[in-house]
Amino acid sequence: MLSCPLFKDYLCKDDFKTSKGGACCFPELRVGVFEEIVPMGISPSKISYKKPGIHLSPGEFHKEVEKFLSQANQEQSDTILLDCRNFYESKIGHFQGCLAPDIRKFSYFPSYVDKNLELFKEKRVLMYCTGGIRCERGSAYLKAKGVCKEVFQLKGGIHKYLEEFPDGFYKGKLFVFDERYALSYNSDIVSECSYCGAPWDQYKLCSTPQCRQLVLTCPACQGQGFTACCVTCQDKGSKPASSPTQNSFKEECECTARRPRIPNELAQQAQLCRSPEPRPGVGEDGP
């Protein structure tokens, strides 16, 4: 690719990221041309990737995070450490002290910013994602709103950061969109089994054929038959079902459909200050 004239002015060796894998992790190769590599839902002609945030090398980003975490009161800080990935990605690994939006698609990110614009006013935003791709569009969108003091992004994403700082400020696993589900660079486990609460961070697909949700269920709970993403799917999985067709797969399950599509951070903070809610059990919202 580096020798191809098409990529001469766009790629360098540092843009490539390597990790351990195998043929079983990548069952097929597809090459396509898309308007957006990771869909944000807004045309690049309206929000251009050519106007992104300031790129910080892993070393520079590390220093910024270190400075942010050293502050006595991070909630009153003029800096926000923003994870622009989906909730199931940040759930198993994230930077300490980050704001991780509870959204399930990157195409929800613009609406999240719009709904929580007050949160970003006069703030220095340190943004990061898996490999830096989503930040190109996400930081450009945030900058276009004209409310932030500054917008920075981690060049090369978490992947490049972990190559230099495996035991740095990123804790847990790095979610990847292939059959491996996650890459491990440190021994920290930041998530838990959705059923018993034991430390656990290895995803599996929901055992109900019609569901595509990921579930965190530890070996002990799997042994007891808890292999679905929620109680509703667990009940469905125990009943005989006809062979699913491609069209019968669901993008959302009952457990994710109950969650707000676009969370309001300031409203949630106010609610927590008034009366902290108990942790949902399996009988309520499930994982």
Active site residues: 129
How far is C-alpha 219 from the geometric centre of its chain's CA atoms? 24
Instruction: Provide the token pair at 86.
Output: 């989906």
DSSP calls for 19-50: ----GGG---------S-SS--SS-TTTS-TT
Contact criterion met (CB below 8 Å) for 205 and 215: yes
The enclosing H or E element of 171 equals strand 170-172
> Taking Cα atoms as reference points, which of 257, 248, 251 lies closest to residue 230?
257
Contacts for 218-227 with beta carbons within 8 Å, 24 or more apart?
218/193, 220/193, 220/196, 221/193, 221/195, 221/196, 226/195
d(CA 44, CA 33) in angstroms, rounded, equals 14
Enclosing H/E stretch for 236: helix 231-237
> What sign for the dihedral angle of Cα 115, 132, 29, 23?
negative
- Amino acid residing at 244: P
